[in-house]
Amino acid sequence: MARAQLPHERAGTAQKVTLVMVAHRAGVSPQTVSNAINSPNLLRPDTLQRVRRAIDALGYRPHRAAQSLRTRSSKLIGYAIKPVPPDTSNPVMDGFLHALSQTADDSGHRILLFAAPDGPTELDAYQELLDTYSVDGFVLSGTTHGDPRQPWLAKRSVPFAAFGRMWSGRQVGDWVDVDGAAGTAAAVEHLVTQGHKKIAFLGWPRGSGAGDDRATGWKRAMQRHGLPVRGRHAETFDDVELSRVAAGPLLDAGATAVVAASDTLAVGCYRALADRGLTPGEDVVVTGFDDTPAARLLTPPLTSVTQPLGAAGRECVRLLLARIADPDREPERLLLAPELVVRASSTAWTRA
Amino acid sequence: MARAQLPHERAGTAQKVTLVMVAHRAGVSPQTVSNAINSPNLLRPDTLQRVRRAIDALGYRPHRAAQSLRTRSSKLIGYAIKPVPPDTSNPVMDGFLHALSQTADDSGHRILLFAAPDGPTELDAYQELLDTYSVDGFVLSGTTHGDPRQPWLAKRSVPFAAFGRMWSGRQVGDWVDVDGAAGTAAAVEHLVTQGHKKIAFLGWPRGSGAGDDRATGWKRAMQRHGLPVRGRHAETFDDVELSRVAAGPLLDAGATAVVAASDTLAVGCYRALADRGLTPGEDVVVTGFDDTPAARLLTPPLTSVTQPLGAAGRECVRLLLARIADPDREPERLLLAPELVVRASSTAWTRA
């Protein structure tokens, strides 16, 4: 590439600063400036520093679209936002999305949001982002049993990191997840410490990854303490009124504590207690999961398991960038520990 | 531009389909194909149709980065995601963000998420998105009194649409907002119909746009019915325990109904009632605002005002694209009507 001999005096004017001007000021070739921006590891440290000083001094900003064509890196990360079912919301993802965006920004990347449909056309949306925006990779969330996205992306060597483990099939790619079993186990430990032995579990129907994981944590912790699990397990869908019905037999069988797989299920348990003239937190203690904004607003305020969503968002970006930098690195899979937030629903109990 | 004479037989192979191949198949110049993609209004309808058929037949996909350089349109819309304060969440924005993303997708645009800091460096983040990604425009949310973003963008002729009106200063640009005053007025109407006259308002300290708007709706509706507002208004920050204290004097002054500016404030009122041995929904009725997921989980379930967030997201994209298409069009400003969701907290009352 020919080296242009622009006088550097022009650089300070309102004229658009170009890569060639930076090269001139740093006394290097334009290709070296390009490398400093796109492949800094190719340069000697002192050269890199000289170019960076010139970039700073001139206020040069590479245009991302042009840069993308040169380097085949768009610095864009695709993230599919799922439809919100009409009667619910997912406040849990709020903190995740902010951490994702912030961490991506810190490394010079941006999150490209797209509305992927559920169902057979879901992967078309991923394909389209690759084709039209050349995203560098994807962050996935809401992974399910038989999720088609991980094998599809892996087959095409598209870098990705998932928030949510692979619940079935051959493990491919990197993921970070929250250790749901550790969360319900922590709830059991907290209750055992207070003298509870009849600790029931109110969960979702078998077959959902996260639901089964939470049930397992309760069961293992019970067994660790030699406490019986028979007749202490009920399951239903994530709905207050269904939960109110499902909790009944657990209470009638004499449970003094109920570990619920969600805050919604915990509220159903509150209502089943009220139906029986019992006071949640005093006659029978209850814990929830996810620490939704509702937890602190309930009467009594609900003990719940909070997920480290900020950390999950940051780790997803870290794993993805590491994968982009080295496609052959060993897959990394992280389980983050959740935390039990103790409130009045599990502390006011007096041993019967 | 020279017209390449590629044999169209090659188009069906695995080889990458190019603009030149499309031009050949359609029997037009490559410039015409480019116009069909980037400025379809420049073409005669029959020519446009011929090119589109060739694009479909060959499965041609223009590369967005290359296209951006040619047309100076990136088809990207910037949206700043704000930090989530540690002890809160904003479940309200979930549905908005999905609608935004879906509507943008439908028109061939994508949302570029960025984490704009609050404070003096906020506008730098907007500048950077313009410089490095050439975003076509921005959607703003969380507009505040003295918000610097609208005048900054308007001065630079950058298209934007805001979810949230301009609360102060000279009105610039397009916005869509929810008519908060109509929401609290609807709550008052609902309560008056049931025979309430002593209807208090529990709001936020004066000075927040949304808070003052909600207070105004209550006040005007009360005056319309000739009901006194003196001594029936209290304000505090959005916190359950502060609200519990602030609600006290309203209850002690004999209010039979409390219209709260948020679900959190409504819960504080529930607690103040419990402190006095009174039952929310039976002795004194309560309404909230925002219809957060907590509303249906409370005992009693809370009547609340729900915001049409899907519509707000769709309208923001519509306004932004209209502005991009015609920078000189008259500004459009929309107030969407919220809806009162009636639950047990405001229906079980028996006139004292």
Does B4 score more than 50 pLDDT?
no
Same structural domain for residues B186 and B101? no
Q: Is A67 domain-assigned?
A: no
Q: Is B352 domain-assigned?
A: no
Contact B299/A274, CB-based, under 8 Å?
A: yes
Q: Is A164 domain-assigned?
A: yes
Q: Is A71 domain-assigned?
A: no
Same structural domain for residues B189 and B279? yes
Same structural domain for residues A258 and A315? no
Q: Tens digit of pLDDT for each residue in A69-125?
A: 555 678 899 998 876 554 444 555 777 888 899 999 888 899 999 887 777 788 988
Give the closest of B83, B133, B298 to A64, CB-based.
B133
Å between B113 CA and nearest CA of chain A: 5
Same structural domain for residues A198 and A209? yes
Same structural domain for residues A190 and A299? yes
For residue A90, the model assigns a pLDDT of 52
Same structural domain for residues B218 and B247? yes
Å between B191 CA and nearest CA of chain A: 24
| Global pTM exceeds 0.80 | no
Same structural domain for residues A202 and A250? yes
Contact A79/B105, CB-based, under 8 Å?
A: no
Which chain B residues are closer than 8 Å to A293 by Cβ?
Answer: 88-89, 91, 292-294
Q: Which of B36, B71, B106 is the last residue of a domain?
A: B71
Q: Is B162 domain-assigned?
A: yes
Does B222 score more than 80 pLDDT?
yes
Q: Tens digit of pLDDT for each residue in A118-151?
A: 777 889 889 888 888 889 999 999 888 889 999 9
CATH number at residue A135: 3.40.50.2300
Does A1 score more than 60 pLDDT?
no
Q: Is A69 domain-assigned?
A: no
Same structural domain for residues B110 and B168? yes
Domain count, chain B: 3
CATH number at residue A19: 1.10.260.40
Show the domain range for B234: 180-307+340-346
Same structural domain for residues B62 and B88? no
Give the closest of B61, B81, B292 to A101, CB-based.
B81
Which chain B residues are closer than 8 Å to A69 by Cβ?
Answer: 65-66, 69
Of residues A256 and B13, more confidently modeled: A256
Same structural domain for residues A126 and A209? no
Q: Is B2 domain-assigned?
A: no
Same structural domain for residues A317 and A296? no
Give the closest of A97, A132, A298 to B81, CB-based.
A97
Same structural domain for residues B160 and B202? no
Q: Tens digit of pLDDT for each residue in A286-341?
A: 999 999 889 999 999 999 999 999 999 999 999 999 999 999 999 999 999 999 99
Q: Is A185 domain-assigned?
A: yes
DSSP string, A7-36: -GGGGGSSSPP-HHHHHHHHTS-HHHHHHH
